[in-house]
Amino acid sequence: MALTHAQLRRRRRVWSYLVLSGLAVFFLFPLVFMLVSSLKPDGQILSDTSSWRAFLPVGHISLDNYSGVFGRVPVGRFLFNSILVTVLIVGLGLVVNSMAGFALSRLRWRGRGLVLSLVIATLIVPFETIAVPMVYWVAHLPTLVLQGGALKYDIGWLDSYKVQIIPFVANAFSIFLFAQYFSTIPTSLDEAARIDGAGWFTIYRRIVVPLSGPAFATVSILTFLPAWNQYLWPSMVVQDEKLRPVMVGMQYFFQDTTAWGEVMAYASMITIPVLVVFLAFQRAFVSSVAASGVKG
């Protein structure tokens, strides 16, 4: 008996859901293993890795690993540092990169295409190749420090919040994404606003930004992830424990003997903010990707 078009479409949809559900379960395995292992003692974690018990909360389950994390590292301080650095990088980056993208996509000026090409070209340069020269430069940059209630001139940004924030505010990929998204907004809106006497900053603030919510959400996610996961750069420029972010704190668990349960507990604690941010912005993220695919 031949199937109708509606039945074939329903069957394809069912198979699509089954395949996507299977892929989702497959990619969730590491997260499930991490969360479950954070509740088990080290010996049980190692013994359970040879069976499905590794993904099940069975055996001796407790929160001892989480209390052990707070006893081994200053988790609260590390979380505060990472949240502060990440929020400032994302917030300042949205302003700086969106304004740069606006200038490259909406304004007409000589050399605009060359500047955009140079911005895109920087994407092929790995950060590791410029990390050492950057350390040299930030170590010799002038700064103002507060000493004895007065501001004094000093040299060097090492061991500070600004050395973890300022070098990562401007981002080539974010500028490119904003420029591409802004170019899909009709320029007739700019012309109408200019006739009414609006300046370019007013057009940016009152017309382009309100119409670009998906782009801002996407850039927020793509900026948040590397900012939160920074390890190499803070390890090179921050020696003061009071200024270290959460990822640098991971090395505290591999000094003498590895406490795998505490490692999993700490990893779970620093992964939760990433999941919360993604879940909060996933609708706008998907919308932006879809819009870029159709309009770009």
Concatenated DSSP letters of 211-274: T-HHHHHHHHHHHHHHHHT--HHHHHH---GGG--HHHHGGGGGSSS--HHHHHHHHHHHHHHH
Whether the CB-CB separation of 144 and 151 falls below 8 Å is answered with yes
Reduced to 3 states (helix: H, G, I; strand: E, B; else coil), residue 144 is strand
73-132: per-residue pLDDT in tens? 898 899 999 999 999 999 999 999 999 999 998 888 888 889 989 998 988 888 888 998
Predicted model pTM:
0.84
Tell me, what amino acid is at 39?
Answer: L
- The rounded distance, in Å, linking the Cα atoms of 272 and 265 is 11
What is the predicted pLDDT for the residue at 154?
Answer: 78
- β-bridge mates for residue 142, sequence order: 155
What is the predicted pLDDT for the residue at 97?
Answer: 95
134-191: per-residue pLDDT in tens? 999 999 888 877 666 677 777 888 889 999 999 999 999 999 999 999 988 888 888 8
pLDDT above 70 (res 289)? no
pLDDT above 50 (res 259)? yes
Range(s) of the chain covered by CATH 1.10.3720.10: 74-124+161-260+271-295
Q: Token pair 């502060």 is at which residue?
A: 84
29-63: per-residue pLDDT in tens? 888 889 899 999 888 888 888 888 888 888 888 88
Average confidence (pLDDT) over 65-70: 88
pLDDT above 80 (res 285)? no
- 74-124+161-260+271-295: which CATH architecture? Orthogonal Bundle (1.10)
- The rounded distance, in Å, linking the Cα atoms of 181 and 101 is 9
Burial 73-110 (b: 16+ CB within 10 A, else e): bebebbbebbeebbebbbebbbeebbbbbbbbbbeeee
